[in-house]
Chains A and B, each alone.
Chain A
Amino acid sequence: MADIAVVAGNGLLDRRAFLRASGILFTGYALSPARAEPLSEPPWSREPGTVVPPYGTPSKYEKAVVRTLSNPNGEPRNSHARTPHQQLQGMVTPSGLHFTISHAGNAEIDPAQHRLAIHGLVKRPLVFTLDSLARYPMVSRFSFVECGGNSAPLFSPEPIQASVQALHGLASCSEWTGVPLCVLLDEAGVDPKAKWVVAEGADSPHLSRSHPLGKAMDDAMVALYQNGERLMPGQGYPMRLLLPGWEGNMNVKWLRRLQLTDQPGMTYYESRTYAQILPGGKAYQFYFLQEVKSFITHPSPGLNLKGPGFYEISGIAYSGNGRIARVMVSADGGQTWAQAALQEPVLSKAFTRFRVPWQWNGGPAVLQSRAWDEGGNAQPTRAQIIAVRGQTSKPPPVLAFPSQHYNGPTSWAIDASGGVKHVYA
Chain B
Amino acid sequence: MKLLIANGYVIDPAQGINAGKNLLIEDGRVIGLLERSDQAPEGAEVLDATGLIVSPGFIDLHAHLREPGAEYKETIASGAAAAVAGGWTTVCAMPNTDPVNDSPAVTRFIIEQAQRAQLANVFPIGAITKGCAGKELSEMGEMKSAGIVAVSDDGHPVPTAGIMRRAMEYARGFDLTVVDHCQDLSLSAGGVMHEGRWSLILGLKGMPAAAEDVHVIRDCVLAKLTGASVHIAHVSTRGALEAIRRARELGLTVSCEVAPHHWTLTDEALADYDTNTKISPPVRSRDHVAAILEGLRDGTIDAIATDHAPHHADEKALEFDQAPFGIIGLETAVGLAFDLVNQGIIDLERLISLCSTNPARIFSLQDRGTLAQKAHADVTILDPGCEWVFDVASSKSKSRNTPFHGRGMIGAAVATIVGGRVVYLNPNYTRLTDTKHHNAAGK
Answer yes or no: do A and B interact: no
Interface positions of A (Cβ within 8 A of B) = none
